[in-house]
Structure 1
C-alpha cells in the first residue's frame, strides 16, 4: 500500500489550478469575441473570422503547452517535460474544442435573445408605422372630402351672390356693385394661388382697392384714409390674402371717420424685391367687456412662417391711441 502511494503523482499546487482555469475562461470569452466580431457586422467577415479563430485556438493551446513545460514540470529534465507536454497535448486539444463548443452555444444563446428583442422592436415599429399610415390615409380621405366639399360650396356661394347682385341692382346699383366686389375678393382668395401657392402682388393690390371701395360705401364716403399703393409692382408674387387680412384688421378696429387724424395704408416693392406694407390708424374706443381677439394676426404669422421662414418681419406698435403695423417680405 505504501509503495502504491509512493508511485502516485502528487496534486498540483492550488495556484496552478487557478492559472489553468483562468486560461480556459480566457479561451471561452475570446472565442465569443471572435464570433461577435465576425457575424455582427453589416457584412460578415468570414475569412477574417476564420483567421482569428485559428490564431485564438493556437495561442491558447501554445499557452497550455508552455504551462505544462515550465509550471508543472517540477525538478524533471527538459526531455521529460517535453514528453509530459506531448502526453497532455491531445487532452488540451480536446479541452480547447470543448470550451469552444460551449462558448459557441453561449454566444448563440445570447444573440438569439438579442435578435428576438430586435425582431420584437422591429415588429412593434412596423405596427406603429402601419397605424400611422392608416391614420394618414384616414386624414387624407377627410381632407379630400373637405376639399371636394369646398369646391361645391364656393360654386353655390357664387351662384347666390350672382343672384343677389342681379336683384339688388334694380333698387341699389351701389349695393350691387359692392356684392360684385366682394365676389371678386372671394374668388381671388379661392382661385388666385397657382401651383407654388402664390399670386401676383399686383392682383393682391387690386383686391385691396376692392376692399377700400367696399368700405367707402360702408362709411357713406366718410372714410379718411391716405392710400399709397405703388403703380409698378413688377412681376413679384406673394401668398394671397395676406395684405387683405392685415388691411381688414385696420377697417375692423380703426377709427377711420376722423378727418383730423387720417389713417395710412402704404404698399410698395423696392428694386431689391423687398415688399413693404404699412398701416397706421387711430383705434376705436373699445367697450370695457369687449374681448380682444388676435386670431387674424396669429394665422397671418403662421402662414408667413411657413412661406417665408426667416425672410420676413411683421411688427406692431400700439401706443398713444394709435396702432401701427409694418410687414416686410423678401420676395426674391
Structure 2
C-alpha cells in the first residue's frame, strides 16, 4: 500500500512537471507569434504547433528511447526519428495551409520552401534530441536511485542477518552459565536469571538500528556479572568506563562479541593468573573500546575468525565505512583488540 502511494505520487509529480513545461512552451510560442500576428489565428496556430511537438516528444520519450536507444539499436532509432520528423513537417505544413486558408493569412515568413524545410527540420530534430536526452537522463537517475535502494535493502538484510546470528550466540553462552549454576544448586541462579532477562530484553526489544551507549554499557555490565556468578573466586575481570556522555548512538551488540572472545580464550575462571580488562573512553573525538586478555588456552589460536568476530568486522564495514579503526595486537601472553569509532 505504501509503495502504491509512492508510485501514485511519483506519477502525479511527473505529469505535473510535464504539464507545466507544455504550458510554458505554449505561452512562449504565443508570445513570440504575437509579435507578428494576433487574434484567433495566433491561438490556433500555436495550439497546432504545440500539439504536433507533444506527439514527437512523447513518441521519442516513451517509444523510441526505451525500445531502441536503451537496447543499443541506434540505427533503427535514427531512422524512426527521421521518419517522425518528416511526418511532423508534413502535418505542420498541412495545418499551416488549412489555417491560412481559413483566416485568409499570408505566410509569416518570406522564406523559400527549401529554407523553410531546413528551418522546420532543424527545429524538430533539436526537439527530438532533447526528448531522447531527457529520457536517458531520467532513466539513468532512476536506475541509480533503484540501485541505491537495492543496496540499502541488501545492507539492511545483511545487518539483520548478522544481528540474528549475534544475539543467539551470546545468549547461548549465558544460558550455559545459568545451567552450570542450576546443576550446582547455587543460590546465585535466580540472580543469574535476572541478568539473563535484562540481556534478553536488550537483545530482543532494545536492539534497533542504533542504541545509546548507555544501553550497550549496561548490557556489557550485565554480561560480566552473569559470568562472575558462575565462579566463587574473585575474577580479574575489570571494566573501566571513562565516558561521561552516554547518549551517543551506536550499533547495538558491538562490543559483546569482543568480550565473548576474551572470555573464551583468556582462561579466566580456570587460571588464577588469567585476566580480562575492558576500557571505554573518548579520545580525539573517537569512541575507543579496548579489551585485553591473557592467553590461557594454549591449544587454540585466538583470532578474529569466529562467528562473533567475523560478524563484527562485517558490521563495522557496513555501518561505519571509513569511520572506524579495528586493531589487533598479540604477543606470547596477551591478546588485545582496540576498536575506535569516529563520533559524528
- TM-score, length-normalised on structure 2? 0.46
- TM-score, length-normalised on structure 1? 0.47
If you compute each CA radius of gyration, which structure gives the higher value, 1 or 2? Answer: 1
